[in-house]
Structures are given as structure tokens and as C-alpha cells.
Amino acid sequence: MSVNIIKKERNAIINPLKTCQPLGAMYAVTGIRRAVPLVHGSQGCSTFVRYSLSRHFREPSEIAVTSLHEDAAVFGGRRNLVEGLQNVAIRLKPDLIGVITTCSSEIIGDDIVGFIRTAKDELKQKIGEEVTEKIKIVPISTPSFVETHLKGYDNAIKALADHVAEPSEPNEKINIIPGMTNPGDVREIKHILAFMDVNGIILTDISDPFDSPLRPSTTEYKPYYPKGGTTVEEIVDSANSLGTISLTKYAGSGALSLEKKYNVPAELGPIPIGVQNTDQFLRNLKKLTGNDVTDEILDERGLLIDSMADFASRYLHGRTAAIYGDPEITSGIARFVGELGMEPKLVLTGSDNKEFVKDIEKVAKETGAEIDTMVGQDLRAMEVYLKDNPVDLMIGNSDARLMAKEYGIPLIRVGFPVYDRVGYHRRPIVGYNGGIHLIDLITNTILEKYYEHEHWKLQQ
Amino acid sequence: MRILEVLHMEPKIESIIDTFESRKKHMCIKGDDISIPDCNKATLPGTVTQRTCVFGGARIVLMPITDSLHLIHGPIGCASCTWDIRGSKSSRSNLYKKGCSTDMGEKDIIFGGERKLFETIIELNKLYNPGAIFVYATCVSGVIGDDIKAVCKKSEEITGIRIVPVQSEGFQDYNKTKGHWIGCDALLDYVIGTKELEKTTPYDINIVGEFNVAGDLWGIKPLFKEMGVNIISTITGDSYVDEIAQAHGAKLNIVQCQKSSNYLADKMEKKYGIPSIKVNFFGIKQTINSLRDVADFFDDEEMMERTEEIIKSGLNDVEHKIEEYKERLTGKTVALYVGGNKAWSLVRAFEELGMDVIMSGTKNGMKEDYERIKDTVRDGTVIVDDANSNELALLLKKYQPNLLISGAKEKYISLKLGIPFCDFNHDRISAFAGFNGFISFAKEVDASVSSPVFDLTSKKLMEQ
């Protein structure tokens, strides 16, 4: 019935469960059509993130960098950014450039807004005022030494709301901030919107850029711009929407900004993982649009409940799980696991967040379970915990794969990064369909590990 | 040959592909007036560079030391994005795979991170009792001026283990080669020579610049054992820090990755008088030459005889096993775009499969690297320096090789163009070095080039 918070007892981070802000911002800008993330920092700041993104999505990840070097640390990064912006603008002709800062550029104290102005002035001389004005240049402040990648994502979406969105005529649309979810999740949200007869603006839509077709004849290659993504026009129009739903309250600043500036009502979280969270998402949609939940959606809900009825008591009830990763996904899965009659024994996130504890307290209340909770922790903490407190199942990213193997605990892969299995970025975990996918995954894993193979035919 | 036709049409260097004016001289065609591209220049700001930072360079050189912890003193991202990213295998400890960070926050930036670093080192030592802790400086610890050397010294006195500062502030240079050198310097200054060799033989060597990616080292080691050579240490693949500490006792250094490790071999020669031989275990001929060179160095009749036996039996095995692959691969073209060393060391290996290297490039090449590439490739080969992602795509589109050899970032660019790809970087799964490695190499290249998948592009649908 309660949450037991296990505090961090170390300075050292050992096997991290978080990364720094710029990654979140690069992810967000990739979801914009014909946009270029321009990282103002060292080459490693873009290159290592590109590695991480490419490993997870198995897609190109095209991120430009201003290549700061020692002289910039001494004299500032003005020349690098001003030149970098012009090179991107002239060479790649993008619709938008997201200028993403890093620890070094933040500490040096570069005047990003001023540098952008200078770059624009110089660009006007070179390519004319009209062409220059067409390219939106958005400053995104992402100091790496503050919070986590989610904050960087949040800052990027907020920057779009603050610098790009413009009020005009009401548009009857709903803005969706998907958080750092996968292409499969965004597609599932779009599917729900279509069934609800709602037009959406996804801020931002990584579904196609991070899962794009191999069609050499149609792919833009000068430069490589992936298919899809939210258009700049849509982002501009987001100021005129009926409302904004952020699937995560950990990245709701953009939604709040649109509410404050343009009276676009905001709903923050919870992420629609599992039955009740998806119900809440649909209630939010209904509240903002007035549209009723359609029969098709109720059928999909019924399919999920049907699967739960088929499997939950037979195979899953009382099974214990350790769930780890980003706060929103982790708390969403904890709640779903509770809905299945399982016990979320340990819930762990890398970011230090009080909201998270509240979420888990809610799950504890609903399930009657004692939940050990760790915030601002790392995978080493989970390793130590599981040694004395074994669980039936681990649910989280690939980074605990060696631990899972060592302890002989099966691992269900969700979240970011998943690099040692394929297809996980493509299949949703949100919405009722995502729930069906998750329950299939969980049940099959339990069957494989804990049931006698020769009796499967009888264990229906 | 398609490339020669293209050449014929476009004799001017300037027109290889459409790019920035300043970048044009970074590409050339061997046989033209200028056969070496401009190189070792700062990356143009605002491009999608395939390069990385100095920290990355140092990190990959030292990471394969398996009994040690690698602690990154910086904000969390520098550790998060680089822990366990090199497929260097271990036969013993797995400590090196841990991702350790001081996770510098705002407070540390304002008040300095030395105290936190010190406490972190003490904690890590208590938890894992590692062979050593390598402490890496990052941009942030550099900008705020943390004295990691002093902290390491103090921690070393308390822990009694080697705490090695690595001065790898990421922004120091545009060329990560500097990071390789910094990694080597850390070994030279704090590890090599700190333990006396327990037992010496006349045939003691170090294998330098072999990182045991996918187990490459394990393809070479048995050959040396059979020859009667005694390996003191490998720097750094599958190594313990104590072994590297004794490296100064060797009679010879053999250098596999010459890009990252010639620097170390040269310094060891100066400091300890250890001569070095450049070796290359990618490809049959190269493997044979390398083995013979080592035997020749020791000038020992029996060893030379044993070496010839090893070569004979190795050849016997390889030649018939690669026949099938060679048949399919002969005449196919390949483009190399790699960190450095492989831009020349793989050329002969591909020739042995009957393939034709039509492009070779590096991200961090120095003038001497391009000299070697020029000397290795045939006339008409495109040589390219520091191609950004856009340029790489244009080059691939123009020359349409049957295969690209590169790393994880380039992989998906190539595949999206419908060009087969084979990983020869950190993510590689199979060992490619030595005789057996060459068989795996042939098999993997064939699996990429001969895959039926690339015949199934959307164009096909429209044609039928």
C-alpha cells in the first residue's frame, strides 16, 4: 500500500539511466520536416548522439555541429555559430534550424540570440531577405549539466512554441506532444486521432524520420531529408489549436507556454499506457474537442480487455517486475502492470523528480502493493537491489541486458535505447493497441521462462 | 570500369561532387596532378560531420583495458553516449564495460568538481577494486579548470591503485587523432614502466594498436604462440593494466592500428629503445608478411621455419574456403570510409577477394596517412578527406560502389541509397584478423554484396 523510497547513497553514476539535454533536443528537431538540428558544441556532442539514435532506430540521423575548438573556449563560439548557421542555410536550404546549445557553449556564455541575429544579417546580404526570412532559426538552450535528456526535449518543444507558433484563425486541431516515444507510438496516437475524427498537430512527429522507407528514387539526398515530420506551417498553426495534450507531464512546458500565450488549453499526461491511462487520454481528447469516443475505439479497448481477461489471471497474477527507464514510460508501465494483477516491485528512474514519486504512490494505492522506488538512480542501484530481491521480470531498455542475463531474469524491452533486438521502435506501447502488444510480449516471455513446455497444450 | 569512364568525362578535381568551395580540395583522384587531398583541417561549422571529439579518441584507445574502470569527469552525456560502445572483447574481466560518471551538475560548475571527483574515485575503488581507474577530462572539466591530475595523485595515495588522469577535453582539437595520442600519453606517463617484468625471454613483444574488436586479437595470438613469440602485453585489447605496466620490458613492438598507435610505439622506442614493426593482419598476404617480418626481426632459424609451417597450414585452410566467395565478389567495387588505418590496410584484403577499391577516405587522416593511401590504391581511385554526411551520400550516389565499408553512422546513409554496407568498426560482430579472420571477412562481405535484398527496390515494381 505504500511507496518505499530508496535513496541514492553514492556520488558515482554507474551505468547511467539518463543522458544529457542536447540529445532530447536533437530528437525533437528531427521530428520537423526539412529541419536541421545544429549543435553548438564539440564534435562529439553531435557524433555520439548520432550513434545512439542510429543504433536505436536503425536510421540515418543527420545532425550538424558548429565544431567548437579550444579557441572558442577562450574567445567564445561566435564565429563558429554565425558561420555554421550560414553554411546550413545556404547548403542545406532547410525550413528550420534548431540551434542546440551544450555544456561548453552554455558555460562560455555565448549570446545565441545575438549570434543568430548576426548570422541572419549576413545571410540577407548573401541570399536575400526573402529567402533568409523563410528559414526559421530557433534557439534551444540545453545546458547538459542540468537535469536530463527529457528536459532537453521539453526545452526544444517550448522553444518551438515560443519562437515559431503564431496566432491567426482557430483551426479545430489538437496539438500532441508525444514525449520521447517511438515511431510506433506516434503512429498509434495518430490512429486514435483519426478514429476520433480529430485533426492533430504532432509536436514533433518523429514517426517517419526515424522509421523511413528505403526508396532510393524518392529520397531527398541533397541533403538527406527523411520523409515526413511536422511541417513548419503546422508548428506555426499550433497557436490556433483547440488544445494541447502532452503525453508526458515531464515535458509539458511547450503546452503550458501555448496556454499562457495563446489561450490554447493544456492537458499534461499521463502517458496513455494501459487501460486507465488511455481512458484518460480519450477523456482529455473529448474534453478539448467535444467529440465522442467512437465505437471503433471502444472495440479496440474491448480487444485489450479481452486479452487481459484471457491471460492475466492465468499467467500473470502476482508476478513481480522491476521497471526502469524514463519517468513517464516507467510510471505508465507500472500502472499497466498493476492493472494486470502483477506487482511492480521496483520502479526506478534516472531523473530526480518528485512528480514521479506521486505517480508511483497512485499505483501503490490502486494495486495495494509495496513499491520500492528509486529516483535519480542508476542501473548499478538496480543490480544491487535485485541481488537480494529477485523479480520475475525486468521491463526497460537494453542497457540492463547483461544484468538480466547474469541474474537469469527475462527482460522485456521498452523505451530508449533498445539496440539488441529489432522492431521495438516500430511497435507501440501506447493506446489500447500498445497495451495489446505489451501484454502479448509480457505473457509470451512469462510462458517461455516459467511454464513447462511439454504442458503448453494443456495450459490454455 | 565505370569509374574510369567517369574519370574520363571529368578530369578536373574541382568537379568530383558539388560541395563547399573550401571542401573541394579535400577530394582528389589518384593519378591526377594532385593525388593527396587537403587534410587535417578544422571541420566546417554547420556540416553533419562524421568526426568526433578528442575525448572520444582517447576513450576508444583506453577502453579495452578490461580490468579497469573508466570514469568520465563531466556532465552525464559524455559517459551515457560512450559506455560500452566499442566491441572490444574480453577473456577475463568485464569491468571496462561499466559506464562511470561524476555526473557534473550546476553546483559543480560553479564551485568546481574536484571534491566530487575525489569522492567518486574512492567510492568506485571500494566497490570494484579495479586494476586502475582512468579519469577522463571533458569539455566542462576543462573549461572550469578542475585539476584532475592533482585529484588523481591524491586518490592514488589513498587507494593504492593506479588512478590515471587522461587530459582529454573534447574541444581541444578537430582531429580525434589528438585524443588517441592523449590516451597513449596517459599510458606512457602513468602505466608503462611502473612494474618490472617478472620473467623475460629473448622473444618478448607487445602487440600495439590491437583493440580486440570482435576478438581480432584471438585470431593473431595463437599464431604468435606457435611461432614461439612471447606476448608481454597487448595495448590495449583484452589487456590488464598490470600487463601494460610491464610493456617496457619487450624486445619489439608490433603495431597494428598505425593511426592511433604509431605515436605510442615511437615514444617507447625513444624512451626504452624498443624498435617497432608495422604489421597488418587484414588479408592473407598482409598476414603472411607480418608474420615473416616478426620472425625476421628475431633472426632465429627455428622460428622462421615454424613461421613457414604456420603460413603453409594457414594458406591451405583459407584458399579453398574463400573460393566460393571470391567467385561471386570478383569485379565488384568497394568504397572505404573509415577512421584512418583501415583506409589503406584493407585495400589488399579486398584485392584478394577480387574486388576493386574505387574510393578510400578517412575522417581524421594526416598527410602521412594519405601518402600511404595513395601508395596503396591504384590510379583512378577517389581519395577523400573528412567527407561530411552530405558529401558521402553524393559520392556514393555518383560512384555507386557495390559495397561501403564504414561505421554505424554511415551505415544507414548507405543503406537508404540502396548500397550494401559492411561494418568494419566498433560494432562488428566477427573477427576479421589473421587467416581465419579472413574467411569470416570474405563471408561477411559476400553476405552484404550478394544479398538479394538490394535487387528489390521500388523501381523493380514499376518495371514489371
The tens digit of pLDDT for each residue in A145-188 reads 999 999 999 999 999 999 999 999 999 999 999 999 999 999 99
For residues A321 and A429, membership in a common domain is answered with: yes
CA B146 to chain centre: 30
Higher pLDDT, A460 or A49: A49
pLDDT level of residue B89 (50, 70, 90 thresholds): very high
Which string of DSSP letters, residue by residue, matches A186-248?
Answer: HHHHHHHHHHTT-EEEETT--TTTTS----TTTSEETTEE-S--B-HHHHHHGGGSSEEEES-
For residues A334 and A404, membership in a common domain is answered with: yes
Pick from A350, A64, A344, A53: nearest CA to A225: A64
Beta bridge partners of residue B135, listed in sequence order? B71, B165
**B46 with A48: Cβ contact below 8 A:** no
What is the number of helices (H) and of strands (E) in chain B?
20, 14
| Residue B341 confidence (pLDDT) | 83
Mark which of A241, A273, A289 sits at the end of a domain. A289
Nearest-CB residue to B105 (from A61, A86, A145): A145
For residues A414 and A397, membership in a common domain is answered with: yes
What residues of A are in contact with residue B18 (Cβ under 8 Å)? Answer: 222
CB of A22 within 8 Å of any CB in chain B? yes
What residues of A are in contact with residue B143 (Cβ under 8 Å)? Answer: 73, 103-104, 107-108
Please tell me which residue of chain B has the smallest CA distance to A74. Answer: B143
Nearest-CB residue to B171 (from A62, A72, A143): A72
Is residue B94 within 8 Å of A403, Cβ to Cβ?
no
Q: Is the pLDDT of residue A456 over 80?
A: no
| Residue B167 confidence (pLDDT) | 97
Is residue A405 within 8 Å of A38, Cβ to Cβ?
no
Please report, as a single letter, which amino acid is at residue A335.
Answer: R
> What are the φ and ψ backbone dihedral angles of A429, each rounded to 5 degrees?
-115, -5
pLDDT level of residue A219 (50, 70, 90 thresholds): confident
Pick from A157, A125, A115: nearest CA to A26: A157
For B119-170, the pLDDT digits (tens) are 999 999 999 999 999 999 999 999 999 999 999 999 999 999 999 999 999 8
Q: How many residues does chain B have?
A: 464
For residues A238 and A301, membership in a common domain is answered with: no
Please tell me which residue of chain A has the smallest CA distance to B94. Answer: A402
Mark which of A109, A132, A148 sits at the end of a domain. A148
Angle at A225 between CA B333 and CA A19, to 5 degrees: 100
**A51 with B413: Cβ contact below 8 A:** no
For residues A440 and A304, membership in a common domain is answered with: yes
Q: Is the pLDDT of residue A223 over 50?
A: yes
Residue A270, preceding peptide bond in cis (omega within 30° of 0): yes
Q: Lowest-confidence range among A188-197, A211-220, A323-332?
A: A211-220
Is residue B19 within 8 Å of B133, Cβ to Cβ?
no
For A108-154, the pLDDT digits (tens) are 999 999 999 999 999 999 999 999 999 999 999 999 999 999 999 99
Listed by number, the residues of chain A in 97-116 with a beta carbon closer than 8 Å to a beta carbon of chain B are 102-104, 107-108
Residues 6+ apart with CB under 8 A from A169: A240
CB of A422 within 8 Å of any CB in chain B? no
Handedness of CA A231, A234, A239, A241 (dihedral sign): negative
| Residue B16 confidence (pLDDT) | 85
Query: Could you tell me the residue range of the domain that residue A144 belongs to?
Result: 21-148
pLDDT level of residue A73 (50, 70, 90 thresholds): confident
pLDDT level of residue B10 (50, 70, 90 thresholds): very low
**A103 with B458: Cβ contact below 8 A:** no
Listed by number, the residues of chain A in 226-285 with a beta carbon closer than 8 Å to a beta carbon of chain B are none
Query: What is the residue-averaged pLDDT of chain A?
Result: 95
Nearest CA of chain B to the CA of A406: how many Å? 12
**A51 with B55: Cβ contact below 8 A:** no
Cα distance between residue A372 and residue A385, in whole Å? 10
What residues of A are in contact with residue B112 (Cβ under 8 Å)? Answer: none
What residues of A are in contact with residue B116 (Cβ under 8 Å)? Answer: 11
| Residue B426 confidence (pLDDT) | 76
For B221-263, the pLDDT digits (tens) are 999 999 999 999 999 999 999 999 999 999 999 999 888 899 9
Query: What is the residue-averaged pLDDT of chain B?
Result: 92
| Residue A357 confidence (pLDDT) | 94
Q: Is the pLDDT of residue B457 over 80?
A: no
Pair type for strands B333-338 and B403-406 = parallel
CB of A75 within 8 Å of any CB in chain B? no
Nearest-CB residue to B76 (from A19, A51, A102): A19
CA A264 to chain centre: 22
Q: Is the pLDDT of residue B4 over 60?
A: no
Distances (CA, A) of A156 to A96, A180, A255: 13, 12, 12
For residues A223 and A372, membership in a common domain is answered with: no
**B81 with A59: Cβ contact below 8 A:** no
Pick from B114, B22, B150, B85: nearest CA to B428: B85
Q: Is the pLDDT of residue B273 over 80?
A: yes
Q: Is residue A166 part of a domain?
A: no
For residues A272 and A301, membership in a common domain is answered with: no
What residues of B are in contact with residue A48 (Cβ under 8 Å)? Answer: 52, 56, 77-78, 81-82
For B310-337, the pLDDT digits (tens) are 999 999 989 889 999 999 999 999 999 9
Q: Is residue A274 part of a domain?
A: yes
Cα distance between residue A145 and residue A163, in whole Å? 24
For residues A252 and A319, membership in a common domain is answered with: no
| Residue B7 confidence (pLDDT) | 45
Chain A contact probe: residue of B412, B428, B463 with most A CBs at under 10 A: B412
Q: Is residue A371 part of a domain?
A: yes
Exposure string of B368-380, with b = 16+ CB inside 10 Å and e = fewer, is ebbebbbebbeeb
Segment B68-92 shows an average pLDDT of 94
Please tell me which residue of chain B has the smallest CA distance to A70. Answer: B172
**A221 with B47: Cβ contact below 8 A:** no
Q: Is the pLDDT of residue A457 over 80?
A: no
CA B341 to chain centre: 7
C-alpha cell belonging to residue A280: 484518460
What residues of B are in contact with residue A209 (Cβ under 8 Å)? Answer: none
Segment A430-445 shows an average pLDDT of 97
To which residue does cell 608495422 refer? B278
Nearest-CB residue to A11 (from B102, B139, B389): B102
For a pLDDT cut of 70, what percent of chain B falls above it? 95
For residues A266 and A309, membership in a common domain is answered with: no
For residues A115 and A183, membership in a common domain is answered with: no
Residues 6+ apart with CB under 8 A from B191: B132, B162, B164, B241, B244, B245
Listed by number, the residues of chain A in 376-415 with a beta carbon closer than 8 Å to a beta carbon of chain B are 380, 402
CB of A76 within 8 Å of any CB in chain B? no
Nearest-CB residue to A83 (from B46, B98, B171): B46
For residues A263 and A362, membership in a common domain is answered with: no
Chain B contact probe: residue of A67, A141, A218, A397 with most B CBs at under 10 A: A67
Cα distance between residue B309 and residue B186, in whole Å? 39
Q: Domains of chain B (ranges plus CATH)?
A: 2-35+330-428 (3.40.50.1980), 54-190 (3.40.50.1980), 204-313 (3.40.50.1980)
Q: Number of A to B CB contacts under 8 A, please give it.
A: 245
Q: What is the CATH number of the domain that holds A361?
A: 3.40.50.1980
Q: Is the pLDDT of residue B2 over 50?
A: no
Segment A76-87 shows an average pLDDT of 95
- Per DSSP, B228 falls in state T
To which residue does cell 613457414 refer? B308
What residues of A are in contact with residue B127 (Cβ under 8 Å)? Answer: 12, 14
Please report, as a single letter, which amino acid is at residue B457.
Answer: T
Mark which of A289, A311, A342 sits at the end of a domain. A289
| Residue B340 confidence (pLDDT) | 78
What residues of A are in contact with residue B79 (Cβ under 8 Å)? Answer: 13, 16
C-alpha cell belonging to residue B198: 617478472
Nearest-CB residue to B109 (from A38, A79, A107): A107
For residues A314 and A448, membership in a common domain is answered with: yes
pLDDT level of residue B1 (50, 70, 90 thresholds): very low
Nearest-CB residue to A67 (from B49, B99, B415): B49
Is residue B28 within 8 Å of B383, Cβ to Cβ?
yes
**A73 with B81: Cβ contact below 8 A:** no
| Residue B35 confidence (pLDDT) | 80
| Residue A396 confidence (pLDDT) | 98
Q: Is residue A260 part of a domain?
A: yes
| Residue B463 confidence (pLDDT) | 64
Segment B88-97 shows an average pLDDT of 96
Chain B contact probe: residue of A9, A10, A14, A92 with most B CBs at under 10 A: A14
Which pTM was predicted?
0.95
Cα distance between residue A301 and residue A393, in whole Å? 25
C-alpha cell belonging to residue B457: 527496390
Q: Is residue A153 part of a domain?
A: no
Number of domains in chain A: 3
